[in-house]
Amino acid sequence: MNRYFLTVFVLFFLTYSNVNAQQEYLGVIKLNDSAFISYRVNFEILKDNSVKGYTVTNMGGAHETKSYLEGSYSEKEKSIFFKEVGVEYTKSDITTYDFCFVHFTGKLKNSNGQQIIEGPFSGKYSDGESCIDGEIMLKNMEKIEKLAKKADKKIQRSNKVSDSIKENISLVNLIDQNGLNVLKSGEKTTIFAKNETLSLAIWDAGKLDGDKISIFYNGKNLINNYAIKKSKKEINLKLNKGENILKFRADNIGDIAPNTAKIEIAIGDKVIDLLSNLNKGEYTSLVIVN
């Protein structure tokens, strides 16, 4: 069972909980051409009932995109309005002006103790021109995670599931990974910036297992065959106008495969968390457009 079908399993068969100021939902958007795309929404309702947060579309897919979100909430009506207002990163090979942003108005519904966000949305380009429309179907993340844990326990206890499959299936890990921007081999992730400098930090956030990497910036070797440590290694870089290319190469496989490193990109007040996932000799790239 591959990652895509596990994601679909989670999206359609798990349910959820109650309203707090900090909200996170997982589900799908259905386009008018009947295509389904995974969709994650994280937002905070502020004291003035304004809404701020982010969305992630096509999680783990070839066109994964994280966008900024803003809007408003009516406590009296239990209704919410939000729209995507810009892109933090994308794995699609398109410019920021080509994005079709979601605009949604609907209610935070409760059905049998389950909290959902459902309803039609309109898609608009950054200049206000209409693009593709569709529907949103989302469920609260807290309950999803609880039910994923129960599902994992059932899978591990089942005599109908082979041990080899049990070792590779974890719905909880799948949900956790969908919250990260995982950098894969041969992949190009584009980040949009309006700053002159960038701060890069790299470290091992899990078990220290001897992974080594090399980092290149605009063709120059910044570090070579570096053994990742628990402490952060920080590098400050000057951004050129246009495209700036950061490449990461896995130089070995440590005690635990694959080669993984936690990467943090800070541009102004924006911090982007990344996780590399590579085999020996593989590359992944970040393109910072300034």
pLDDT one-digit tens code per residue, 241-253: 999 999 999 999 9
Q: Which residues of 150-174 are buried (b: 16+ CB within 10 A; e: fewer)?
A: ebbeeeeeeeeeeeeeeeebbbeeb
The mean pLDDT of 266-281, rounded to a whole number, is 92
Residue ranges of E strands in 34-78: 36-45, 50-57, 65-74
* Whether the predicted pLDDT of 177 surpasses 60: no
22-35: pLDDT as tens digits: 788 988 999 887 78
Average pLDDT over residues 105-128: 86
CA 165 to chain centre: 25
Tokens of 8: 């679909």
Residue 272 tokens read as 């982007």
Mean pLDDT computed over 92-102: 79
Digit-coded pLDDT (tens) for 38-71: 899 999 999 999 999 999 999 888 889 999 999 9
Q: Can you tell me the distance from the alpha carbon of 73 to that of 20, in angstroms, rounded to the nearest whole number?
A: 12
- Residue with more model confidence, 10 or 272: 272
pLDDT of 218 reads 96
Q: Tell me the percentage of the chain whose pLDDT exceeds 70.
A: 77
> Can you give the pLDDT at residue 247?
97
Confidence of residue 145 (pLDDT cuts 50, 70, 90): low
Q: What predicted TM-score, i.e. pTM, was given to this entire model?
A: 0.77
The DSSP secondary-structure symbol of 98 reads G
pLDDT of residue 7: 47
Query: pLDDT band at residue 179, thresholds of 50, 70 and 90?
Result: low
H/E segment holding residue 269: none
Reported as a pLDDT band with limits 50, 70 and 90, residue 89 is very high
More confident residue, 6 or 99: 99
**Among 6-15, 143-152, 153-162, 236-245, which stretch is predicted with the lowest mean pLDDT?**
6-15
Mean pLDDT, residues 122-149 taken together? 80
What is the reported pLDDT for 284?
A: 95
Q: What confidence tier does 175 reach under pLDDT thresholds 50, 70, 90?
A: very low
Q: Tell me the CA end-to-end span of the chain in Å, nearest whole number.
A: 40
Q: What is the pLDDT of residue 156?
A: 63
Distance between CA 228 and CA 150 in Å, rounded? Answer: 35
273: which residues sit within 8 A by CB, 6+ positions away? 180, 181, 262, 263, 264
Torsion angle in degrees (nearest 10) through CA of 188, 193, 199, 204? -40
The residue type found at 241 is K
Task: Tell whether the model's pLDDT for residue 11 goes beyond 70.
Answer: no
Domains in the chain, start-ordered, CATH in brackets?
Answer: 3-143 (2.40.128.30), 181-289 (2.60.40)
pLDDT at residue 157 tops 80: no
Share of the chain above pLDDT 90, in %: 52
Query: SS in 3 state form for 175-192?
Result: HHHHCCEEECCCCEEEEE
Supply the mean pLDDT for the chain. Answer: 82
Average pLDDT over residues 215-238: 95
